Amino acid sequence: MIKAVIFDLDGVIISTDDCHYEAWKKLADEEGIYFDRKINDRLRGVSRMASLEIVLEKSEKVYTEKEKAELTERKNNYYREFIKKLTPNDILPGVMDNLEELKQNGIKIAIGSSSKNTPIILKQIGLDGYFDAVSDGNNITHSKPNPEVFLKASEMLKIPPENCLVVEDADAGIEAGKKGGMKTLSVHGAKGADFETEDLKKFKILSII
């Protein structure tokens, strides 16, 4: 029985995955590294430093740890510029209806995101303080596909993993939810989930609970 729904942020609540793409692309172009949307797909749900390692697979230059820290900081500064423009209008279609319906039916809702920028984004889109729990890149040591971020959310909610449903747009996120012993719902084509929907626009999460 599902008592809580844990939502990924980037790509589920809001389409910041495109802002990540633009920021990585800008950095890669400056460094003369090949980067495209296919490579970007592999960065979904993956931490900032682990994402950089994937970007650097196409680099001939070997970077020191200090240089890698500078690259991730530069990428994050570009990303922050993009997310400054976010407003509540950027929340993806169907998200608010689902959140409200779950709340009204006594289902707990949480965020489970690898992003350290989660608090800023939630503020920008007017959902600061809206969720029963927020587990993000600031309180984990292992990013998805490790289940840590979702297990922390389940702990914060005081609801066991088997009673939680994870909503994800990344293969790594679906894998993380499953490893954590949770049920999973995929949006936008993430593979391997218990349930799937193209988007949340015409979909009622309550119907699978």
Residues with a known catalytic role: 8, 10
Q: Do 44 and 173 touch, CB atoms closer than 8 A? A: yes
Q: Do 181 and 163 touch, CB atoms closer than 8 A? A: no
Tell me how far, at minimum, the Cβ of 1 lies from ligand B16, in Å.
Answer: 26
What is the DSSP-derived secondary structure letter of residue 108? E
Strand, coil or helix: 5: strand
If the CB atoms of residues 75 and 183 are measured against ligand B16, the closer one turns out to be 75
- Within residues 156-175, the interface with ligand B16 by CB under 6 A covers 170
Cα separation, 72 vs 22, whole angstroms: 14
Question: Which of the stretches 31-39, 111-119, 188-196, 199-207 binds ligand B16 when contact is defined by CB under 6 A?
Answer: 111-119
Tracing tokens 């988007």 back to the chain, one arrives at 199
Is residue 161 near Mg ion by the rule CB under 5 A? Answer: no
Q: Do 79 and 48 touch, CB atoms closer than 8 A? A: no
> x/- site string to ligand B16, residues 128 to 157, per CB under 6 A?
---------x--------------------
Task: Report the residue from 35, 45, 55, 109 that binds ligand B16 according to the rule CB under 6 A.
Answer: 45
Cα separation, 152 vs 161, whole angstroms: 10
Strand, coil or helix: 165: strand
If the CB atoms of residues 183 and 188 are measured against ligand B16, the closer one turns out to be 188
Is residue 10 near Mg ion by the rule CB under 5 A? Answer: yes
Q: Do 119 and 131 touch, CB atoms closer than 8 A? A: no
Tell me how far, at minimum, the Cβ of 3 lies from ligand B16, in Å.
Answer: 22
Is residue 27 near ligand B16 by the rule CB under 6 A? Answer: no
Q: Report CA 122 to chain centroid distance, whole Å.
A: 12
Q: What is the binding site for Mg ion (CB under 5 A)? A: 8, 10-11, 45, 169-170
Q: What is the binding site for ligand B16 (CB under 6 A)? A: 8-11, 17, 20, 43-48, 51, 76, 113-117, 137, 170
